[in-house]
Amino acid sequence: MNLQPGWLLLLFVCAGVRLVPVDRNAANQEAKAEVPEENGDTGLYYDRYLREVIEVLETDPHFREKLQTANSEDIKNGRLSKELDLVGHHVRTRLDELKRQEVSRLRMLLKAKLDSTNTQSLQMDHASLLKQFEHLDPHNQNTFEAKDLELLITTATKDLENYDAERHEEFKRYEMLKEHERREYLKGLDQEKREREEKRLQELKDRHRQHPKVNAPGSVAQLREVWEETDGLDPQEFNPKTFFKLHDTNEDGVLDEQELEALFTKELEKVYDAKNEEDDMMEMEEERLRMREHVMKNVDANKDRLVTLEEFLKSTEKKEFSNPKEWETLETRPVYTEEELQRFEVELLDREEELKRKAENLRQQQELLKERGKALEAQRKEYQQAVLEMSHRQKEQQAADGQPPAGPNGELQFQPEAQKVEDEAERPAEGQNILPAEPPQNLPSHT
């Protein structure tokens, strides 16, 4: 059975899940899932949630079979989401748990964002704030329903379509920042050093441009080079069908974006070497992205970001396959204009001023805290001094009144030595009879 790749299959490929066709003639109709492979991150902020949902759904035989027979229209219009009602109870339970975990994670992200902006979050409305996340239903935060699957599919599809554009924009900003820092660095040098540094930088740029010719990606010359140098086969025996199967590394019947980008490594090595000072590896990844987009544009007929064998074979019949236009590498194509660089520098300046204001506010708050700390320390010392003075006055007053000195809590204290002398004065001498003497006998009488 041939898989019909659609938009959801794209998500499965991005999540690193390999689907195996269901054997309807076998007695056991259980789908045989292979071990997921390690693929790169999709770049989506909910990448882990997407992967885990897909992995759970892929364990259900019914949903797995429906996925394999679905076309792109069934997926895009939400029909496949309705199949969620027929999956097993344990699958639904696990999906519910995944959604609750994702909602909890999003709440933590929101709290961290609010805390970082000094916004009061004690009374924040989580339901309202969660509406900004489009990949799940914020009104139902406890169970995973068909609407959640539909939102996850549509949002991931849209985000993946915009992901390449965002990568291009990030690279443009990276290049403008590099140029801005170069200019600022040169400004800080005297004329002699600046001229010497400008000469050195120009030499690096010229050295980078001196590389072998790069074949147009997806052309017969480029594929034959991979066939010969990577696959170790005779370039004269190049066979497109065999080439496709060799590079469909996970054997799912399509070439996904990662498998396509792997084909451009030999071309990129002609231009970039991590050991060379003049070669920027960020530029290499931008070049790889441009190559993949070029091939997808010419080969991916149904625009599902996957290349089937049929699409691949048809592309080899086009004129561009044997006689392509010369490929222009990044150093020959300006990434930004001078006007864009000026706007970027204004933005950097505004951001720098904002950071300075925040730093000044933090400094003032720190000074205020120090002053409050000093005031509290002074109050503590004054209190201690007042207690000592009060205790001293009490002792003086008691001494003037002839009273025993007061203890630490104001109680009277007796002097042990004085009490001992008084006791000894009253105690009879050793051997002395303390009983009263008897009256004398036979005393003469006085008449």
Q: DSSP secondary structure string, 159-196? A: HHHHHHHHHHHHHHHHHHHHHHHHHHHHHTS-HHHHHH
CA distance 79 to 145: 13
- Burial label for 33, CB within 10 Å (0-12, 13-18, 19+), is middle
Angle at 70 between CA 67 and CA 74, to 5 degrees: 120
Above 60 in pLDDT, residue 289?
yes
Residue 109 within any structural domain of the chain: yes
Residue 227 within any structural domain of the chain: yes
What pLDDT does residue 191 have? 93
- pLDDT tens digits, one per residue of 21-38: 334 343 333 333 333 344
Q: Is the same domain home to 317 and 199? A: yes
Q: Is the same domain home to 329 and 358? A: no
Q: Is the same domain home to 308 and 359? A: no
Q: Is the same domain home to 306 and 217? A: yes
Total domain count, the chain = 3
Q: Is the same domain home to 329 and 227? A: yes
Are 194 and 186 spatial neighbours (Cβ–Cβ below 8 Å)? yes
Q: Is the same domain home to 332 and 208? A: yes
Which residue range(s) make up the domain with 107?
46-120+128-153
CA 45 to chain centre: 8
Q: Is the same domain home to 145 and 65? A: yes
Residue 19 within any structural domain of the chain: no
Q: Is the same domain home to 193 and 266? A: yes
Residue 172 within any structural domain of the chain: no
- Burial label for 262, CB within 10 Å (0-12, 13-18, 19+), is middle
pTM of structure: 0.63
The CA distances from residue 392 to 86, 293, 385, 430, in Å, are 87, 89, 11, 45
The pLDDT of 83-109, averaged and rounded, is 89
Binned at pLDDT 50, 70 and 90, residue 346 comes out as: very high
- pLDDT tens digits, one per residue of 268-282: 999 999 999 999 999
What pLDDT does residue 211 have? 92
- Burial label for 71, CB within 10 Å (0-12, 13-18, 19+), is middle
Above 90 in pLDDT, residue 342?
yes
CA distance 208 to 203: 9
- Mean residue pLDDT across the chain: 80
The CA distances from residue 261 to 168, 292, 296, in Å, are 16, 6, 11
What pLDDT does residue 10 have? 45
User: Nearest to residue 260, comparing CAs of 241, 244, 272?
Assistant: 244
Q: Is the same domain home to 355 and 332? A: no
Above 80 in pLDDT, residue 365?
yes
What pLDDT does residue 23 have? 40
Residue 68 within any structural domain of the chain: yes
- Other CB atoms closer than 10 Å to residue 144's CB: what's the count? 25
What pLDDT does residue 441 have? 52
CA distance 66 to 85: 13
- Burial label for 246, CB within 10 Å (0-12, 13-18, 19+), is middle
SS3 147: helix
- pLDDT tens digits, one per residue of 419-447: 554 555 555 555 555 455 555 555 454 43
Q: Is the same domain home to 357 and 305? A: no
We report the CATH number of the domain holding residue 303 as 1.10.238.10
CA distance 129 to 117: 15
Q: Is the same domain home to 225 and 134? A: no
Residue 345 within any structural domain of the chain: no
- pLDDT tens digits, one per residue of 153-210: 888 878 877 888 889 999 999 999 999 999 999 999 999 999 999 999 999 999 999 9
What pLDDT does residue 189 have? 94
Binned at pLDDT 50, 70 and 90, residue 134 comes out as: confident
Residue 405 within any structural domain of the chain: no
Two tokens, residue 183: 């200019």
Task: State the Cα torsion 306-309-312-318 to the nearest 10°.
Answer: -140
Q: Which residue has the tokens 């027929």?
A: 86
- pLDDT tens digits, one per residue of 38-66: 445 667 888 899 889 988 988 898 888 87
- pLDDT tens digits, one per residue of 210-260: 999 999 999 999 999 999 999 999 988 999 999 999 999 988 889 988 899
Residue 16 within any structural domain of the chain: no
Q: Is the same domain home to 266 and 360? A: no
